[in-house]
Structure 1
Amino acid sequence: MPWSEDHKQATRGRIVEAAARAIREHGPDGVSVAAIMKSVGLTHGGFYAHFESKEALIAEALSHATVETLAWLDRTATTAKNGQTPALADIADAYLSNIHCEHPDRGCVLAACGTELARADDLARIACSDNVRAYLRWLGQRSRAEQRGERSREATGALAAMIGGMVLARATEDPAEARKILAAVRGFVRSALKADKGAG
C-alpha cells in the first residue's frame, strides 16, 4: 500500500531537518546522503523519492535552517524583553549569545559555513544568497530607524557584525576569550545602533 501524502511530507521534513543539522556541523561538502538517510531510519535508495539530487536537498535544508534560526532568535529576544517586541539590538544580543556559540549545529548556517556556501554549486549559492536576503529583510523590520534606507543599512551592518563576531568567537579554543569576543561585539552593535543603554 502506498504511503499517504502526509506521511511523505513528514518524511521529507525529517530528511531536511537532518540535512540542515549536517550542513551546520560539517559544511555542504561534508553532507552524506547515505548518512542523512540512515539517521532518519531510511535507506539510501529512498532518497530519490523525495529529492532530485543532493544539491536540491542542500538548497532546501539551507532555507529550513534559516527559518529555524530566525524563529529561535525571535523567541529568545522576546523572552529577554519580557514579551515585548524586540528591537534589532535585542536580536543581536540573542544571536551573539554563549548558547548560540556553543551549538553551531543548531544555529545560524551563515556563521557555521557561509564561506563554504559561497563557493558551493549553483543551487547552494542561490539558496545562500536567498538566506542572506531573508536575514536582511527580517532584521530590517526590527530596526527602529525611520527611513527605509537607514533600516537597510542598520540590518546589513548588524548582520555582518553578528556573523563575524560568531565566527571569531568560535575560532578561539578558550571559552572565556570567546565570551569576551561575544560581549564586545554585542556592545559594538548596541553602540552602532545608538540603542538606549538600559534597553534589553
Structure 2
Amino acid sequence: MARYSPEHKEATRRRMIETAGRRFKSDGIDGSGIATLVADAGLTNGAFYGHFASKDDLVASVVTQQLTDQVAVVDGLPAGLASVEAFLRDYLSPAHRDDPAGGCPSAALLDEIGRCGEATRQTYTDGARSMIEAITRHLAAGGTDGADERAIGILTLLVGSLQLARAVTDAELSDRILAAAYTQAITIAGARPGPATTLTQESP
C-alpha cells in the first residue's frame, strides 16, 4: 500500500475542506451527503474517514477555515474607515449575493450552524468574535467611538441583509435591500462612501 507524505495528507485534507465549504454554502450542510463531498474532492469514502472522524468533524473544520479566511481578508486591508467602506461595498454587491458558494459563510450557513453540535457552534463563536475584532480595529483606527459595538452592528446588518437579499424573488427589491443595507452600514461605521472597490480575494 502506498504511503503518503504528511504534506500530501495535509493537501488532501485542505482540498476536502475547501470543496466541502463551497458545497455546504451552495447546497446546505444537511443537503450535502458524504458521497457528494468526497466526490467533489476526488476522494473515496475510505479516504474521507482517514482525515475526519465524521461529517460533524468536517463541518467544524470547514467553519473554522471559512471564518479564518474571511478574517484574513479584513485584517489584510490597510487600517482605517476607507477599508471598511471597501469591504462593505464588496460584501453588499450583487456579485456576492449571486455567489453563495464563493461568499460569506455566515450568510450561507448561519441558520444551520445554530442547529449544529457544540463543537461546530464553538468554532463559529470563535470565528465570529475574530471577525468582530477585525472590523473593530478598522473602526478604532478611523477614530470612531464605541468601535466594538459598531462592529457587532455592522456584522449583524451585513449577514442579515445578504440573507434577505438572497431570499426574495423580486430582483429590484433585492437590489434595494443591498443598497439600503450599505447606506445604513456606512452610517454605523462613520465612513464616507467612496469609489467602488473590489477585494482581491474570492470570499468577502
Q: TM-score, normalised by structure 2?
A: 0.84
**Which residues in structure 2 correspond to 1:25-174 (within 5 Å)?**
25-71=26-72, 86-144=82-140, 146=143, 150-174=146-170
Shift of 1:172: 1.2
For residues 171 and 70 of structure 2, what CA distance do their matches in structure 1 show?
A: 23
Deviation at 1:193, TM superposition (A): 2.4
Distance in 1, Cα, partners of 2:90 & 2:44: 38
Q: 2 CA distance for matches of 1:196 and 1:21? A: 33
Residues 38 and 45 of structure 2 are in contact (CA less than 8 Å); yes or no, is this contact kept in structure 1? yes
Equivalent residue, structure 2, for 1:183:
179
Q: What is aligned with 1:2?
A: 3
Gaps of 5+ in 1: none
* Structure 1 position 153, deviation (Å): 0.7
Cα offset, 1:63, TM superposition: 1.5
Q: Is the 8 A contact 1:24 1:105 kept in 2?
A: yes
Question: How many angstroms apart in 2 are the aligned matches of 1:30 and 1:3?
Answer: 31
Displacement of 1:71 after TM fit?
4.5
CA shift, 1:74, in A, is 6.8
Deviation at 1:73, TM superposition (A): 5.8
Higher helix share: 1
Q: Which runs of 5+ in 2 are unaligned?
A: 197-204
Contact (CA 8 Å) 1:111, 1:166: kept in 2 or not?
Answer: yes
**How far apart in 1 are the matches of 2:15 and 2:108?**
21
Pair 1:197–1:35, CA change in 2 (3 A): closer
C-alpha spacing 1:40/1:196, structure 2 compared with 1 (3 Å): closer
- Whichever residue aligns with residue 189 of structure 1, its letter is A
Alpha-carbon deviation of 1:28?
2.2
What is the root-mean-square deviation in Å for CA atoms of aligned residues? 2.3
- Residues paired across the two proteins, number: 193
SS at match of 2:156: helix
Percent identical among aligned pairs is 30
Q: Is the 8 A contact 2:63 2:123 kept in 1?
A: yes
Contact kept, 8 Å, 1:136 with 1:156, in 2: the verdict is yes
**Separation in 2, partners of 1:173, 1:61:** 29
Q: For residue 169 of structure 2, give the secondary structure of its aligned residue in structure 1.
A: coil
| Bigger RCO (CA 8 Å, 6+ sep) | 2
